[in-house]
Protein backbone atom coordinates (compact mmCIF):
# COMPACT_ATOMS: atom_id res chain seq x y z
CA UNK A 1 0.00 0.00 0.00
CA UNK A 2 1.29 3.42 -0.86
CA UNK A 3 0.40 5.27 2.32
CA UNK A 4 2.53 8.39 2.41
CA UNK A 5 4.60 9.42 5.40
CA UNK A 6 4.47 13.06 6.37
CA UNK A 7 7.02 14.85 8.52
CA UNK A 8 6.02 16.11 11.96
CA UNK A 9 6.13 19.65 10.61
CA UNK A 10 3.82 18.76 7.72
CA UNK A 11 1.37 17.03 10.08
CA UNK A 12 1.40 20.05 12.38
CA UNK A 13 0.69 22.33 9.44
CA UNK A 14 -2.25 20.18 8.30
CA UNK A 15 -3.60 20.01 11.84
CA UNK A 16 -3.30 23.78 12.12
CA UNK A 17 -5.21 24.24 8.85
CA UNK A 18 -7.93 21.99 10.23
CA UNK A 19 -7.83 23.84 13.53
CA UNK A 20 -8.50 27.16 11.84
CA UNK A 21 -11.20 25.64 9.64
CA UNK A 22 -12.91 23.95 12.59
CA UNK A 23 -12.53 27.15 14.61
CA UNK A 24 -14.61 28.97 12.03
CA UNK A 25 -17.12 26.12 12.09
CA UNK A 26 -17.28 26.27 15.91
CA UNK A 27 -18.02 29.98 15.80
CA UNK A 28 -20.75 29.43 13.22
CA UNK A 29 -22.37 26.65 15.28
CA UNK A 30 -22.03 28.66 18.49
CA UNK A 31 -23.89 31.55 16.90
CA UNK A 32 -26.59 29.24 15.60
CA UNK A 33 -27.16 27.55 18.96
CA UNK A 34 -26.36 30.45 21.25
CA UNK A 35 -23.93 28.14 23.10
CA UNK A 36 -20.19 27.79 23.45
CA UNK A 37 -18.80 25.06 21.18
CA UNK A 38 -15.48 23.39 22.05
CA UNK A 39 -13.00 21.95 19.60
CA UNK A 40 -10.53 19.11 20.19
CA UNK A 41 -7.00 19.25 18.79
CA UNK A 42 -7.25 17.87 15.24
CA UNK A 43 -5.35 14.70 14.38
CA UNK A 44 -3.84 13.92 10.99
CA UNK A 45 -3.59 10.37 9.70
CA UNK A 46 -2.59 8.87 6.39
CA UNK A 47 -4.30 5.51 6.07
CA UNK A 48 -5.16 2.68 3.75
CA UNK A 49 -8.88 2.81 2.83
CA UNK A 50 -9.85 -0.10 5.08
CA UNK A 51 -8.04 1.41 8.06
CA UNK A 52 -9.57 4.81 7.33
CA UNK A 53 -13.11 3.36 7.53
CA UNK A 54 -12.26 1.50 10.74
CA UNK A 55 -10.70 4.54 12.40
CA UNK A 56 -14.00 6.42 12.32
CA UNK A 57 -15.94 4.03 14.56
CA UNK A 58 -18.14 0.89 14.68
CA UNK A 59 -18.91 -0.16 11.10
CA UNK A 60 -22.52 -1.26 11.41
CA UNK A 61 -23.76 1.45 13.80
CA UNK A 62 -26.45 3.65 12.26
CA UNK A 63 -25.28 7.26 12.07
CA UNK A 64 -26.12 10.40 10.15
CA UNK A 65 -23.39 11.76 7.89
CA UNK A 66 -23.22 14.97 5.93
CA UNK A 67 -20.77 15.21 3.04
CA UNK A 68 -19.70 18.42 1.31
CA UNK A 69 -17.47 17.86 -1.68
CA UNK A 70 -15.28 20.66 -2.96
CA UNK A 71 -15.03 21.51 -6.61
CA UNK A 72 -12.14 23.35 -8.20
CA UNK A 73 -8.41 22.84 -7.57
CA UNK A 74 -9.02 20.93 -4.36
CA UNK A 75 -11.00 17.69 -4.73
CA UNK A 76 -11.44 16.96 -1.07
CA UNK A 77 -14.64 16.46 0.88
CA UNK A 78 -15.75 17.36 4.35
CA UNK A 79 -17.52 14.60 6.24
CA UNK A 80 -19.46 15.19 9.45
CA UNK A 81 -20.58 12.14 11.39
CA UNK A 82 -23.27 12.29 14.09
CA UNK A 83 -24.36 9.24 16.02
CA UNK A 84 -28.11 8.95 16.60
CA UNK A 85 -28.30 10.32 20.19
CA UNK A 86 -26.05 13.27 19.34
CA UNK A 87 -28.06 14.07 16.23
CA UNK A 88 -31.23 14.07 18.36
CA UNK A 89 -29.70 16.33 21.03
CA UNK A 90 -28.28 18.72 18.46
CA UNK A 91 -31.66 18.91 16.74
CA UNK A 92 -33.43 19.55 20.04
CA UNK A 93 -31.07 22.48 20.71
CA UNK A 94 -32.62 23.94 17.58
CA UNK A 95 -36.11 23.21 18.85
CA UNK A 96 -36.70 20.01 16.87
CA UNK A 97 -38.54 17.17 18.62
CA UNK A 98 -35.93 14.34 18.82
CA UNK A 99 -38.72 11.87 17.98
CA UNK A 100 -39.23 13.55 14.62
CA UNK A 101 -36.69 11.67 12.53
CA UNK A 102 -37.30 13.62 9.34
CA UNK A 103 -37.01 17.07 10.93
CA UNK A 104 -33.93 15.98 12.87
CA UNK A 105 -32.27 14.79 9.65
CA UNK A 106 -33.15 18.06 8.00
CA UNK A 107 -31.71 20.07 10.94
CA UNK A 108 -28.52 17.98 10.85
CA UNK A 109 -28.18 18.55 7.11
CA UNK A 110 -28.46 22.29 7.67
CA UNK A 111 -25.96 22.25 10.51
CA UNK A 112 -23.63 20.20 8.32
CA UNK A 113 -24.02 22.72 5.54
CA UNK A 114 -23.19 25.69 7.77
CA UNK A 115 -20.25 23.97 9.47
CA UNK A 116 -18.82 22.38 6.35
CA UNK A 117 -19.01 25.61 4.36
CA UNK A 118 -17.37 27.60 7.18
CA UNK A 119 -14.59 25.01 7.38
CA UNK A 120 -13.95 24.82 3.65
CA UNK A 121 -14.09 28.57 3.16
CA UNK A 122 -11.45 29.01 5.86
CA UNK A 123 -9.27 26.28 4.39
CA UNK A 124 -9.50 27.66 0.88
CA UNK A 125 -8.78 31.20 2.06
CA UNK A 126 -5.64 30.18 3.98
CA UNK A 127 -4.31 27.82 1.34
CA UNK A 128 -5.09 30.29 -1.41
CA UNK A 129 -6.48 27.57 -3.66
CA UNK A 130 -9.43 28.02 -5.97
CA UNK A 131 -12.15 25.71 -4.70
CA UNK A 132 -15.66 25.97 -3.40
CA UNK A 133 -18.02 23.70 -1.52
CA UNK A 134 -20.72 21.90 -3.51
CA UNK A 135 -24.19 21.38 -1.99
CA UNK A 136 -24.15 18.99 0.98
CA UNK A 137 -25.71 15.54 1.01
CA UNK A 138 -27.03 14.10 4.28
CA UNK A 139 -27.76 10.40 4.77
CA UNK A 140 -28.56 8.08 7.66
CA UNK A 141 -27.23 4.53 7.32
CA UNK A 142 -24.54 2.13 8.54
CA UNK A 143 -21.39 4.07 9.35
CA UNK A 144 -19.13 1.96 7.11
CA UNK A 145 -21.53 2.32 4.16
CA UNK A 146 -21.47 6.12 4.49
CA UNK A 147 -17.75 6.53 5.12
CA UNK A 148 -16.69 4.03 2.44
CA UNK A 149 -19.00 5.61 -0.15
CA UNK A 150 -17.69 9.09 0.64
CA UNK A 151 -14.15 7.74 0.25
CA UNK A 152 -15.00 5.89 -2.98
CA UNK A 153 -16.27 9.14 -4.52
CA UNK A 154 -13.08 10.98 -3.57
CA UNK A 155 -9.57 10.84 -5.02
CA UNK A 156 -8.56 9.02 -1.84
CA UNK A 157 -9.96 5.84 -3.43
CA UNK A 158 -7.16 5.93 -5.98
CA UNK A 159 -4.31 5.75 -3.48
CA UNK A 160 -4.53 6.42 0.25
CA UNK A 161 -6.86 8.42 2.45
CA UNK A 162 -5.68 11.39 4.43
CA UNK A 163 -8.00 12.02 7.35
CA UNK A 164 -7.82 15.19 9.36
CA UNK A 165 -10.37 14.84 12.10
CA UNK A 166 -11.50 16.79 15.13
CA UNK A 167 -14.33 16.55 17.61
CA UNK A 168 -16.73 19.39 18.27
CA UNK A 169 -18.75 19.41 21.46
CA UNK A 170 -21.47 21.73 22.69
CA UNK A 171 -20.64 23.05 26.17
CA UNK A 172 -23.03 21.93 28.88
CA UNK A 173 -24.61 19.27 26.65
CA UNK A 174 -23.71 15.64 26.09
CA UNK A 175 -23.37 16.32 22.42
CA UNK A 176 -20.36 15.93 20.18
CA UNK A 177 -19.61 14.86 16.64
CA UNK A 178 -16.73 14.15 14.31
CA UNK A 179 -15.52 16.49 11.63
CA UNK A 180 -13.29 14.93 8.97
CA UNK A 181 -11.52 16.26 5.91
CA UNK A 182 -11.23 13.41 3.40
CA UNK A 183 -8.48 13.98 0.90
CA UNK A 184 -6.20 12.09 -1.42
CA UNK A 185 -2.44 12.51 -1.43
CA UNK A 186 -2.48 14.95 -4.36
CA UNK A 187 -4.86 17.28 -2.55
CA UNK A 188 -2.82 17.17 0.62
CA UNK A 189 0.33 17.92 -1.41
CA UNK A 190 -1.51 20.93 -2.82
CA UNK A 191 -2.37 22.17 0.68
CA UNK A 192 1.19 21.60 1.89
CA UNK A 193 2.69 23.46 -1.06
CA UNK A 194 0.29 26.32 -0.40
CA UNK A 195 1.73 26.75 3.08
CA UNK A 196 5.32 26.33 1.87
CA UNK A 197 5.84 22.77 3.12
CA UNK A 198 5.50 20.81 -0.09
CA UNK A 199 7.65 17.72 -0.64
CA UNK A 200 9.24 19.34 -3.65
CA UNK A 201 10.14 22.42 -1.58
Part of the chain binding another protein (CB under 8 A), chosen from 14-22, 102-110, 125-133, 150-158: 150-158
Per-position x/- string for 37-66, each x denoting binding to another protein as judged by CB under 8 A, each - no binding: -----------xxx-xxx----xx-x----
Cα distances (angstroms) measured from residue 105 to each of 64, 120, 193: 8, 22, 38
The single-letter DSSP state of residue 200 is T
143 binds another protein (CB under 8 A): yes
- 181 by DSSP, 3-state: which? strand
199 binds another protein (CB under 8 A): no
Query: Is beta strand 37-39 parallel, antiparallel or unpaired with respect to 43-47?
Result: unpaired
Query: Is beta strand 43-47 parallel, antiparallel or unpaired with respect to 137-142?
Result: unpaired
- For 183, other C-beta atoms within 10 Å of its C-beta total 27
109 binds another protein (CB under 8 A): no
CB closer to another protein, 20 vs 134? 134
Distance, in Å, from the CA atom of 73 to the CA atom of 37, rounded to the nearest integer, reads 31
- For 58, other C-beta atoms within 10 Å of its C-beta total 12
71 binds another protein (CB under 8 A): yes
102 binds another protein (CB under 8 A): no
* E strand residue ranges, 28-110: 37-39, 43-47, 62-72, 77-83
Q: CB–CB of 179/78 below 8 Å?
A: yes
CB closer to another protein, 106 vs 149? 149
- Residue 169 CB, shortest distance to another protein, in Å, is 25
Part of the chain binding another protein (CB under 8 A), chosen from 102-110, 114-122, 124-132, 180-188: 180-188
CB closer to another protein, 170 vs 182? 182
CB closer to another protein, 109 vs 170? 109
Interface residues toward another protein, by CB under 8 A: 1-2, 48-50, 52-54, 59-60, 62, 67, 69, 71, 75, 77, 134, 137, 139-154, 157-160, 184-186
Amino acid sequence: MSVPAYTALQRDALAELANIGCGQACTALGQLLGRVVDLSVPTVSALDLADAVESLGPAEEVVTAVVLPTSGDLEAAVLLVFDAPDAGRLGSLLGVDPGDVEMTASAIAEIGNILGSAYLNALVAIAGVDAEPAPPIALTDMRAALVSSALASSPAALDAAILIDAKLSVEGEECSFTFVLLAGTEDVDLLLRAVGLGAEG
